[in-house]
Structure 1
Amino acid sequence: LALDQDTNPTPANQFFKLESKMAKDLIDKISSSVELNRIKELMKLYCTGLSGDDVSVANSSNLSEKNIGWTQSDLPTSDGKTIYLPNVVNKYQIKDQNFDYYKVIATHQEALLEFGTFKYDPKIKPKNRKSLKIHNRLKKELNESQEEHATRFAKVLRAIPPFSSDPQLASDLFEIIENYRVDQKIIDKYKGLRNAFINVQYEQVIERKNSSELNEREAMIEEIIKFTLGKRKNFKIRRGFTKEFKAIIGYFLTLKRIDGSVEDSMTV
């Protein structure tokens, strides 16, 4: 660049303005951050290979914030066709750790496709025996409510009290439960990603809201979410609700079975 400066200053100008490929490659090499536009095609191949479905990868900043289930607010849940990833990751001082973070959040979303989240069928019986008993009771209530069986989970739940008066709660709870089931499968199947996956979950627990600032129902759900992210002690449960919390966690633990299905999550 220096030798060419006198006769053709354009390459040097482009380099120092970070407009040339050489400059961008150098910055990428010395920077710890990872940008989505530089790994987008790689992440698409990665997610398509694991899920078996031809998925697209998009910038999560294009969507409204979401704060249910696995992530705090910046990582929307996949819609079954698109994997949403942040524009840049610079959480850590080591580049490989930032790339691992991309892999963790991408795997969490592609696994929803891989493990059948979007293939829920209320006519299919759950595999877990404990879930099966509840499924049969649920099916009876559905018959009595005269709802069609060929529906997605939200419509099924919204037909049943108490969710009929709060349909958003039904959708939110299913998402929390199903995320937990899928995450257990990821941790079991992808051992090479296990440590990074658990570390990201731990960070999510730390970054979430303080339950003491929430009302009773919100606080209960918040502590349940923290359980699904790996928290195992020092839960902040309001007085009088400990028994209910333990019962709920008991249902979650049935989903640790390797053969658990989305129908099991629906039953829980």
Structure 2
Amino acid sequence: MAKAITADNDSKRQDGYQGGNSIAFWLVHVACALVLFTGVSWSAVAVGLATYWTRMFGITAGYHRYFSHRAFKTSRAFQFVLAVLGTTSVQKGVLWWAANHRNHHKYSDLPEDLHSPIQRGFWWSHVGWILSPDYDETLFERIPDMAKYPELRWLNQHYLVPPVTLAVALFMLGGMSWLVWGFFVSTVLLWHSTFLINSLAHVYGSRRYDTADTSRNNVWLALLTFGEGWHNNHHHFMNSVRQGFFWWEIDVSYYILKALSWVGITWDLIEPPARVRIPAAADARQLKAA
């Protein structure tokens, strides 16, 4: 049974992230200080960027646009690849993540929204909710279409296997320097870039569409997160594979998914039609050419 998100358990919510999840989270941050001993090299920084970009795609294209919103179709094999890539980001299991995200859209910025900054403030929406052991349970009833796959259930339960495997592989291939830059530094940057969508994209930015929540478009967050910062667009038409609705809205995950569709790896990409993209008659003239 899902826990109710109400004012009655505010104190528990604020204290709940002081457990084991929180300790591991902060240890990864502390491990970034090892750069003082390993130093900086072009290869290590390149590996750090590569693991950041690859895992950001796993989160944005996989966990978010595919598993949470079914914004495109793919094979069962590539579905598993996306799940593994997303799981290496150390943001818990794929089914856990997608189930909670679907709930977020159902109750966006209402008391039942688990990570609304409007309801619970910056800190809770940024890291508190994901560290709280009170919400570790995966509610499979929220995601029955994906929970039917045994390989996804296994991966959801053993979500530490992919990131630990990645960390070991980096150490074996490049020593401590690759481990620090390619895993610890990259993971911390990945975490906070992703978390900023929850904590800031409902607070700072522009609102093209009059959605029922406070979602906003933020170009800086979009650049950090391969297009996720076009958050008001997303809440206006959440099943779209394309979150940058117009050519000037950079959306790297969409570009990659579109390219994959050209070679048959993805298909049936849901794109926002013109009637959805035009926010109001007053803006139609300005946006007509887009």
TM-score tier, shorter chain, comes to under 0.3
TM-score normalised by L of structure 2: 0.26
- Would you tell me which structure has more helix in proportion to its own residues? 2
Structure with higher RCO (Cα < 8 A, 6+ apart):
2
Name which one, 1 or 2, has greater alpha-carbon Rg.
Answer: 1
